[in-house]
Structure 1
Amino acid sequence: MKLPSETLRRGLCVSVALLGLSVAPAFAQDASPSHIAAARQAVDALDTTEQFDQILLNAATQIKAELIVNNPNLQSEISNMVDDEALKLAPRRGDLENEIARIYAKLFTEQELREIAEFYQGEAGKKLLAQGPTASREMMSAADVWASGIVRDLRNASINGAAKLAPPAQATSTQ
């Protein structure tokens, strides 16, 4: 016969296990290894995660500054220690790559991911990645100029239209 505490403990373990399964992302279960591999290939081709390359470096720099303020005489030792700790954490960058691949696997089919990777690994895709930021800046500049012209022309046309709607003001003379 099971003791009440043993039954309670077993029930609690089962509940915790079920809770863990229920909060796991559904897409992680749905994506096959080949789907994840295609997502990784697309993510690599897009340089999607490049923007995160500085996170660890920036954190190390900030933490060094915080610690050195309190112990300026240990600047060199603190700097070396933080660098060593940062190097230990560097392999965790792969965790982010895997999570981003899962996100892409959730949003795109395996075939779409292969096509995305193929395009961005080609010359046109590489050029789009390289020139995209310049194109976006120039596009926004052109849109600003266009919007200013539209607002100016709409304002002028509306002022002229409003003038035609309102009867001319009667001149009143005071005698």
Structure 2
Amino acid sequence: MVFSQTLRGGLFAAVTLVGLAVSPALAQEISPSHLAAAREAVDAIDTSEQFDQILLNAATQIKAELIVNNPDLQSKISEMVDDSAIALAPRRADLENEIARVYAKMFTEQELREISQFYNSEAGRKLIKQGPQATREMMAAADVWTNGIVRDLRDSAMKGMQKLAPATAAAPAKSK
């Protein structure tokens, strides 16, 4: 899940910055079918899943802030903030639409359909599910490889230094 979230998160962050810089006039150029394809792709990739906790976290933070100054009103504050949060929940659709618009600006309608088709396939769903584990194992392998490369490069450089300046060549520093 980390791989897919990281991949999707990075892609989302990049496309969001692009999307914020685009004027509303450009947003009107997206056809309904193109936007629908973008929504399908966004849903298939689970792109907006990372934003599921925003409202809940905001409500929790605001409750804590208010309760600190009014501990005697804790239950009333919690109820009031929860009611307000529930009233704001439908605005999540606005975010979904904006994410779809960002994707629609970056990809053609056909590309979005292909993305959706892939991520709805068995292989695509497996990539989303197994991607985090693959990323962890890939990073572990890269760490081992990096340590070996650094060790071997250091050894080679120290041998080279002994040839260049035998009297001044320092002993190799021990790596941690």
Q: TM-score range by the shorter chain?
A: 0.7 to 0.9
TM-superposed CA distance for 1:24, in Å, is 2.4
Which residues of 2 match residues 35-54 of structure 1 at below 5 A? 35-54=34-53
TM-superposed CA distance for 1:167, in Å, is 4.8
Which residues of 2 match residues 148-159 of structure 1 at below 5 A? 148-159=147-158
Find the aligned partners of 1:132 and 1:27 in 2 and give their Cα distance.
34
Q: Which residue of 2 is the match for residue 8 of structure 1?
A: none
Larger Rg: 1
- Unmatched 5+ stretches in structure 2: 1-21, 169-176
Find the aligned partners of 1:71 and 1:167 in 2 and give their Cα distance.
74
Q: Normalising by structure 2, what TM-score?
A: 0.80
Instruction: Answer whether contact 1:42 1:117 (CA < 8 A) is retained.
Output: yes
Q: Which residue of 2 is the match for residue 163 of structure 1?
A: 162
Q: Normalising by structure 1, what TM-score?
A: 0.80
Indicate the structure whose relative CO is greater, using CA pairs within 8 Å and at least 6 residues apart: 2
TM-superposed CA distance for 1:168, in Å, is 5.1
Q: Deviations over 1:14-45 (max 9, x none)?
A: xxxxxxxxx72454132111000000000000
Between the aligned residues of both structures, percent identity stands at 74
Q: Deviations over 1:117-157 (max 9, x none)?
A: 01101111011001111111211111111111101001101
Greater shift, 67-76 or 24-33, is seen at 24-33
Find the aligned partners of 1:122 and 1:26 in 2 and give their Cα distance.
35
Q: Deviations over 1:28-82 (max 9, x none)?
A: 1321110000000000000000000000000000011111111111111110110
CA RMSD of aligned residues (A): 1.4
Instruction: Answer whether contact 1:27 1:102 (CA < 8 A) is retained.
Output: no
Find the aligned partners of 1:128 and 1:25 in 2 and give their Cα distance.
35
